[in-house]
Structure 1
Amino acid sequence: MTTEDAREMIIGDGPVLLTYGEGIANIQLNRPESANGFNIDLMKALQEAIMTVHGDKRVRAVILSGNGKIFCAGGDVKEFLSKGEELPNFLRMATAYLQICVSGLVNLEAPVIAKVQGFATGGAGLGLIGIADLVICGDSAKFMAGGTRVGMAPDAGATATLTKMVGFRRAMDLVLTNRFVEAQEAERIGLVTRTVPDEDLDAEVWKMARMIAAGAPRAQAATKRLMWNGMGRGFEASLPDEAREVSALSGTKDSLEGLQAVIERRAPVFTGE
């Protein structure tokens, strides 16, 4: 039986699948016939999956993946074109849903690991890379911004996250030239965390997810929150928040377990208490 076979299906048969097992939730975009392109139905389903994960205390790590050969090719261009003169009104609604989704993923307490195969392009595809806490991609993966190529602009928070990840000059290069970035360059410039052989991608993502799921959940949630909040703050402004979190966490059972494990030279067993 494979890992996937052993997982509990929570949401299925729609544009987003949600499975759970081993303390890990897998949120999978499920429009492979459309390169997992974002439309309203997918975004509504993604929001539902995120809220389900948010309310599930069993979840200690989240994998964000795409069904099929492509992670996500951005927005559903065919649907955009079908709106004709109503496209501006449609996109106002669509971007509102998209903002709710990416904000929800950032605000999940469990770290989010993006598993990227094939292409991650357009506002949605590259935007999801930007808001994931960790990104592991196959060595044939390719990345592209794509917004200005169709006369639009980056969205899904990419204008904020890209500059923090790769620097202002590289970010401007990516969003203005819309060139494809190969996996090895993506790792070198900080767009992704790690590149692995395509055939090892699934195993490496699950290995990372299991390692995260075995960690102290409250400490990891606090660390994630501090890191994201710190993106928009100066050094001095971050210090009080760090002090408060460290002090609060030091009174948890997980903290005491971690300290004791160091003394006893063993692996800690965290419970989230």
Structure 2
Amino acid sequence: MSQETKPEVLVADGPVRLELHAGGVAHLRLNRPESANGLNVELLRALHEAVLRIHGDGRVRAVLLTGEGKNFCAGGDVHTFLSKGEALPDYIRVATSLLQLAASALIRLNPPVVSAVHGFAAGGGGMGLVCSSDFIVAGESTRFLAGATRVAMVPDAGVSVTLTQLVGFRRAMEILMLNPVITAAEAKEMGLVTRVVPDAQLLDEAWSLARQLAAGAPAALANTKRLLWNGIGQGVEAAMPQENHAQAFLSGTADAREGLAAVIDKRAPRFTGR
């Protein structure tokens, strides 16, 4: 990132940080690097609050979303989920609701959202944020993974609709049910990301795109964004309550607990249908 005047810090610490830079670019940073920015209730609540803060700040002309550490976002925090035991469905119900609120808020923001993606973007969190962003700049070593059915759950954050629109029905079925690890080049070819750049250039390229958008006509860009999202927005919002219900139900099954344990143990899960 090039030198600029010192940004205004809007959220200084916690699981999400937010700064306003010169030219009107808000930098929104996921800040749980020790957990690969895995999503728990605290991070999700902070993310939603930060997006609402951006929504209420007329100075913001574009948003840059990044993840601290080695990964953009590895999805839900499986360690936290597994630790909840029999209380997991209640926790998942809250977490999924907050993730859906954050994803909807990103979609409905007037300023365009650019996500700079590195490492892994996985699960409902990683894929959900990718699918809810307007532009995705990915480093060439980035990998994408849906992963929900791998732990006996379902996609959330509206991914059951947005991914289908981005890559097509058949490919979305393959991604969500077979859980292939998708390279950045494959993601670009299928329409999941906007640009793929060398890893060392990721932040510079993402900042350049965010600044280009921030210099545009804000009302024209906001209305163009709204027109494009309105075509699928109602479908996304209709799907989210169904995703939430299914997620909460499935998280109470033995298969879901086995799937989470298998991810932590780095082994293949043994599903029994219970």
Would you call these one fold, judging by a TM-score over 0.5? yes
Could you give the per-residue CA deviations for residues 107-158 of structure 1, whole angstroms, max 9, x where no partner exists?
Answer: 1100000110100000110010101000000000000000000000100111
| Secondary structure in 1 matching 2:14 | coil
Asked if 1:52 is matched to 2:53, the reply is: yes
Residue type of the partner of 2:83? S
Question: Per the alignment, do residues 81 and 201 of structure 1 end up closer, same or farther by CA in structure 2, a change over 3 Å counting?
Answer: same
**Alpha-carbon separation, structure 2, partners of 1:204 and 1:176:** 33
Aligned partners of 1:3 and 1:186: how far apart in 2? 31
Residues 157-207 of structure 1, C-alpha deviation per residue, up to 9 Å, x if partnerless?
110001000000110110111110000000000010010000110110011
**Cα distance change of structure 1 residues 98 and 4 upon mapping to structure 2, 3 Å threshold:** farther
SS in 2 for 1:65: strand
Q: How many residues align?
A: 234
**Offset at 1:93?**
1.1
1:8 to partner: Cα distance: 1.6
Counterpart mapping for 1:39-188 below 5 A: 39-188=40-189
The equivalent of 1:195 in structure 2 is: 196
* Distance 1:232-1:95 versus aligned 2 partners, 3 A rule: closer
C-alpha displacement of 1:230: 1.6
How far did 1:90 drift? 1.1
**Are 1:15 and 2:15 matched, yes or no?**
yes
Q: What's the CA shift string for 1:10-51, capped at 9, x where partnerless?
A: 102100000111210011000000000000110111111111
SS at match of 2:121: strand
RMSD between superposed Cα atoms in Å: 1.6
Structure 1 letter corresponding to 2:217: A
Name the % identity: 55
How far is 1:5 from its partner?
A: 7.2
CA distance in 2: counterparts of 1:73 and 1:174, whole angstroms: 16
CA distance in 1, matches of 2:3, 2:157: 31
- Cα–Cα, structure 1 residues 3 and 105, in superposed 2: closer, same or farther, change >3 Å? farther
Shift of 1:232: 5.8
Change (3 A) 1:139 1:225: same
| Structure 1 residue 6 displacement after superposition | 2.4
Question: In 2, distance between residues paired with 1:196 and 1:14?
Answer: 30
Superposition misfits of 4+ residues, deviation over 3 angstroms: 1-5
Which residue does 1:221 correspond to in 2?
A: 222
The residue number in structure 1 matching 2:206 is: 205
Report the CA distance between 1:3 and its aligned residue. 4.3
Distance across 2 between alignment mates of 1:224 and 1:186: 22
Counterpart amino acid of 2:17? L
2 CA distance for matches of 1:232 and 1:224?
11
* Equivalent residue letter for 2:148: G
Q: Which residue identity lines up with residue 53 of structure 1 in the other structure?
A: I
Question: TM-score under structure 2 normalisation?
Answer: 0.83
Partner of 1:62: helix, strand, or coil? strand
State the distance in 1 between where 2:187 and 2:2 align.
Answer: 30
Structure 2 counterpart SS, 1:70: coil
* 5+ residue gaps, structure 2: 235-274
Task: After TM superposition, give the deviation of residue 94 of structure 1 in Å.
Answer: 1.1
CA gap of 1:13–1:229, structure 2 versus 1, over 3 A, is same
Distance in 1 between residues matched to 2:67 and 2:122, nearest whole Å: 13
How far apart in 1 are the matches of 2:6 and 2:201?
20
Q: 1:30 to 1:88 in 2, by over 3 A?
A: same
Q: Deviations over 1:241-260 (max 9, x none)?
A: xxxxxxxxxxxxxxxxxxxx
Specify the code of the residue in structure 1 equivalent to 2:20. Y
What is the CA–CA distance in structure 2 between the aligned matches of 1:211 and 1:119, rounded to whole Å?
A: 26
Q: TM-score, normalised by structure 1?
A: 0.83
